[in-house]
Chain A
Amino acid sequence: MLTKPKLSDWQIIGFYTGKIIVGVGLMMIVPLLVGMIFGEWSAVVDFVIGISIALTVGNGLQLICHKRREMTWMHGLVTAAASWIVAMVVGAVPHYLSGHFGSFFDASFDLMSGITTTGLYLLQDLDHISYSMNMWRHLLTYVGGQGIVVVALTFLIRGSAGAFMMYVGEGKDEKLLPNVIQTARAIWIVSLTYMVLGTILLTAGNLYEGLGFTRAFLHGLWMFMGSWSTGGFAPQSANVLYYHSLLIELLTMTLFIVGSFNFALHWAVWTGNRREIYRNIEIMSFATTLLITVSLGTYALLQVDAFRGPVALFRRAFFQIVSAHTGTGLTNMYPSQFAEEWGPAAMLAVIIAMALGGSAASTAGGFKAMRVGIIARSFAAEVRRLMSPESAVLIEKVHHVKDRYISDQQVQASMMIVLAFILIYLGGGILGTLYGYPFISALFESVSAGATVGLSVGVTSPSMPFGLKLYFMFVMWIGRLEFIAVFALIGFLIRVARGK
């Protein structure tokens, strides 16, 4: 029998959600300061309103819901899922007030896209938005890449027994260090170090390519955030194409490949285990599937005569497919070129690359290289088992930081998640087709949203039907949190509606 949640359940979820919303409000101080530095007073006022609403909601929730009780798994998962929704609504306030959105719903779409590191957007006239708004967009995607719960764990929540539950609810299950708070801080140490290094390199690249110092620095910082977090946002509507630069393409590509690696791998390398790069199952799996998708894409592009010459193929085809495979979504082409120039076969290669995604416990989405690796190994083991004598005992293992044996339970769990991803991809493809888009374009966009990639063939636009916008927002959220936390939230809501 279903039981209705108790008042204390609501209080625990509300209290920690409140803390995370306060965190979102405090994050807005960064764009506020940028606005003040550059004299963007209209945007400054918008951020003051945004901060005020976030602090009011966050502190209000903490006041109303304060209850000293231990968190259970259900509380942690529901808090993780719910806080992303509340963060989306509260964080969208400055977006909407900027006047660059057709509705508050559209602004919320961009927020969800930002914090899930997707990169699809409905913002209009991107080329004339303020520095502070650009800072907010990119900061959201940078923080979203690490996880907003990770931020709260690092700065606002100390020593809570429920911390690990929220951390898992956000789609991460790697503990780099014995304590989850220390793990959250380790993730930040890695990310901030890369931020300093990446921003310096991209700033230098921008200066070399003819940008003035201030814009070179800001673009360097934002392009770092969009690349490392595999977010795909860029400060100009032309995205990476804006720079017309092989140097910037190489730098961003390096950053988004590295950004798509598992934080556990980063931590292993960080602590001196450099051989892990060559031995890790996720790197092997990623390199193999990248080779397959690049081969397929390159062959298809040559068939339609889209690009000629190795440099052109590298800069356009290889860049797009790596961007797709790492779940980034940065592009150096016009969106309509996919449909007009690439053709269905090359688009299919990009769709497969997007669907596969990057590493687990990283900023990337999709199936994840770990699951692909485990499923591939278990297939190979099945074939070997069929060819071996009946009495033979075969044990499969993978290397991820240490050697791990693959259990049937792990294979089953991996297949379940992959199946769930396939269903949300197909769901969007079918829905888009029902709205009148060609199936291949609808599928492309659906996979892009569900795998939190952000590449677009032009389906996503402010004039896109409401139902499709809502579906894409839902799959960005569920894809980023990898289903479990969202299922827990849905279960909680069912208990609210039908419990006794």
Chain B
Amino acid sequence: MTRINRFLMVLLAIVCLIAVLGQTVWAGEFGEAAGLVDSATLISKARHYNARIVTYRGEVVGDIMARDAGVWLNINDDDYSRQGQEFKLAGYNQGLSVLAPQGTEKQVTRAGNYAWRGDYVEVTGVFHRSSPKHGGEMFIQASSVEVIKPGFRLVTAPTGKRVLAAAVLLSIAAALLWLSQRMLGRNARRPPPS
């Protein structure tokens, strides 16, 4: 067997292995409603909440991705999602993916980023621990999305003190750059020591 064939055989073996071992398709029954749940609880107790109707609240961040299957939203329910203009460090972001019905992009218009706090929304829908239809993804298939608080612009202007510090440091850097160019250039023209 040539090396090329051996290489292709290994690749083929990987593909076959995944296909054979993963033949069974998973079907979940929709269970009873679970009420308002946060993302940390849903992820850590995913088996418990799987296929149950949940209510989830948080800030829409990033992009509102409208597709044929619906509108994908990334919704954070961390401390930042509830902060106003004053920014306070509160650890990592924490959130969950939501697949909202088509047309949601007309209702939810502002996603959070550097300059904006996104729309704060309430989502009701079925939680999926690992949906075979969506490549094993964990998410909420929303039946309704309601904007509770519209997004708002965040103040991100630099302080006067910082601008002054930048100006002083830049001046020092420029002076040193000029000096180093002059001195190193002069030294470079000298013959090396014997």
- The residues of A with any CB-CB pair to B shorter than 8 Å are 40-46, 48-49, 51-53, 55-56, 59-60, 62-63, 66, 68, 97, 99-102, 124-131, 209-212, 215, 236-238, 241-244, 246, 275, 277-279, 283-284, 287-288, 290-291, 294-295, 298-299, 302, 306-318, 332-334, 336-337, 340-341, 461-463
Chain-A contact segment, one of B11-19, B29-37, B119-127, B140-148: B11-19
Interface status of B85 (Cβ within 8 A of chain A) = no
Interface status of B22 (Cβ within 8 A of chain A) = yes
- Tell me which of B11, B18, B76, B187 contacts A314 (CB under 8 A): B18
User: Nearest chain-B residue to A101 (Cβ)?
Assistant: B89
Interface status of B103 (Cβ within 8 A of chain A) = no
Structural contact, A42 and B187, CB atoms closer than 8 A:
no
Structural contact, B19 and A310, CB atoms closer than 8 A:
yes
Structural contact, B158 and A287, CB atoms closer than 8 A:
no
Chain A residues, Cβ within 8 Å of B93: 125-127, 237
Q: What are 24 A-B interface contacts by the 8 Å CB criterion? A: A41-B157, A46-B158, A49-B169, A52-B166, A59-B173, A59-B180, A62-B180, A63-B176, A127-B74, A209-B65, A211-B63, A236-B62, A244-B97, A278-B3, A299-B21, A302-B21, A306-B130, A307-B130, A309-B23, A309-B132, A312-B136, A313-B136, A318-B18, A340-B46
User: Nearest chain-A residue to B61 (Cβ)?
Assistant: A127
Q: Known contacts being A55-B176, A128-B113, A237-B95, is A49 close to B44, with CB within 8 Å? A: no
Structural contact, B80 and A302, CB atoms closer than 8 A:
no
Q: A490 to nearest B CB, angstroms?
A: 30
Interface status of B107 (Cβ within 8 A of chain A) = no
Structural contact, A278 and B162, CB atoms closer than 8 A:
no
A241 CA / B62 CA spacing, docked (Å)? 12
A416 CA / B172 CA spacing, docked (Å)? 47
Structural contact, B22 and A102, CB atoms closer than 8 A:
no
A220 CA / B134 CA spacing, docked (Å)? 22
Chain A residues, Cβ within 8 Å of B43: 334, 336-337, 340
Structural contact, A124 and B91, CB atoms closer than 8 A:
yes
Structural contact, A244 and B72, CB atoms closer than 8 A:
yes
Structural contact, B91 and A462, CB atoms closer than 8 A:
yes
- Tell me which of A210, A242, A278, A334 contacts B138 (CB under 8 A): A334
- Tell me which of A55, A100, A237, A315 contacts B136 (CB under 8 A): A315
